[in-house]
Amino acid sequence: MKTYHVDEKGYYGEFGGAFIPEMLYPNTEELRQQYLHIMGETSFQEEFDQLLKDYVGRPTPLYFAGRLSEKYQTKIYLKREDLCHTGAHKVNNTIGQILMAKKLGKNRIIAETGAGQHGVATATVCALMGIKCVVYMGEIDIARQAPNVARMKMLGAEVRPALSGSRTLKDATNEAIRDWINNPVDTHYIIGSVVGPHPYPDMVARFQSVISAEIKTQLLEKEGRENPDYVVACVGGGSNAAGAYYHFLDNADVGIIAVEAAGKGIDSGESAATSALGKIGIIHGSKTLLMQTSDGQITEPYSISAGLDYPGVGPLHAHLYRSGRGEFISITDDEAMNAGLQVSQLEGIIPAIETSHAFAIFEHRKFRPEELVVINLSGRGDKDLDTYIDYFEL
């Protein structure tokens, strides 16, 4: 049977692999050899499930959005990842990886962060486990994202500024990699999405796959069927989408829709529509589609939502795009902001701006009345209130 999951070599079709400096090889190799075995252990599974239940608040509800469904004349369900502890899906992954780190005997965690959301999710689980945490963050991002920096510090993490290059996410990533090379024995690097060298994309997708596992059970209960007609998610690196798609990937009856940030428009030079604009290249140790100049320099992405502002996309998504398995839609800042306002007023739920991109598809694409569409509501909008306030002059 054709599968869209990772192969034994760490590839999704032609994408993925582990393109890393030789000095990093022992670190990723240790993880590669152990991750499936550790995740399969009963003690690991039990602790992971328990924490997802009691600490994160899972299962998150699958909510039938009646007024939104009425407006667009189709059946729309929302998977409420916004109700997870810390306000988004990212914590599913950091809980999984902190348990993995403990099993590997690591007593120090490093992470990189752009907008600070992954940094906060990592600092949270390090506090939970009493493990030392260093988060690398570009100097520019530290200035732009003061509340998240404060959260990380409050949680006991050390935030180290990346002072080189453009002083944003990719420079923070370089610093984190340098740290890991220097501390291979005691340190685990928690990557925040389905990106990075094999086995990270697969490991993170598996930790997030709880989302689609729950959707199946909940849909069966509510609709008498496990499978929706479509699953929709916004894509930055691709982790909330990977989790929402995971158990449907190899079922051709379920349509997969990926929503990317077009920023000010795909052709404006200010966007993050990676699949539409990307060419094959290597970023973060993985072969994938990324936005680059004709001579291969990575282009700075732009989106009004910090979480979608990433120049690459995970190798799974690059494969879903190139193979045609996934339908990719690009949504501009303006379309996303308006969709976010609409969902707030139709359903009483203020979504993260990342997620607002996913809601905007209903203005682009019609669904039939009997079709069942699940939107992964990846996060809540509290963190984005200032941006909404400025945009709508509230």
Ligand X SMILES: *Cc1c(COP(=O)(O)O)cnc(C)c1O
Give me the active site residues, please.
Answer: 90, 112, 378
Q: Identify which of 392, 382, 316, 329 has the alpha carbon closest to the alpha carbon of residue 359.
A: 329
Segment interacting with ligand X, rule: CB under 6 A, options 32-40, 228-236, 327-335, 341-349 = 228-236
Number of residues counted as binding ligand X (CB under 6 A): 19
Other Cβ atoms within 10 Å of 367 Cβ, number: 19
Shortest CB 319 distance to ligand X, Å: 15
Q: Identify which of 322, 306, 313 has the alpha carbon closest to the alpha carbon of residue 292.
A: 313
Burial of 266 (0-12, 13-18, 19+ CB in 10 A): middle
Among 123, 177, 352, 360, binds ligand X (CB under 6 A): 352
Among 236, 263, 285, 311, binds ligand X (CB under 6 A): 236
Among 145, 240, 288, 356, binds ligand X (CB under 6 A): 240
Of all residues in this chain, which one has the CB nearest to ligand X in the complex? 379
Shortest CB 193 distance to ligand X, Å: 3
Segment interacting with ligand X, rule: CB under 6 A, options 19-27, 148-156, 160-168, 236-244 = 236-244
Residue 354 engages ligand X in binding (rule: CB under 6 A): yes
**Site track 171-200 with ligand X (rule: CB under 6 A), x = hit:** ----------------------x-------
For residues 320, 326, 327 and 333, what is the CA-based torsion angle, rounded to 10 degrees?
A: -60
**Site track 19-58 with ligand X (rule: CB under 6 A), x = hit:** ----------------------------------------
d(CA 200, CA 97) in angstroms, rounded, equals: 10
The alpha carbon of residue 338 and the mean position of all alpha carbons in its chain are separated, in whole angstroms, by: 22
Among 239, 271, 274, 332, binds ligand X (CB under 6 A): 239
Burial of 193 (0-12, 13-18, 19+ CB in 10 A): buried
Instruction: Give me the residues that bind ligand X (CB under 6 A), please.
Output: 88, 90, 117, 193, 234-241, 307-308, 352, 354-355, 378-379
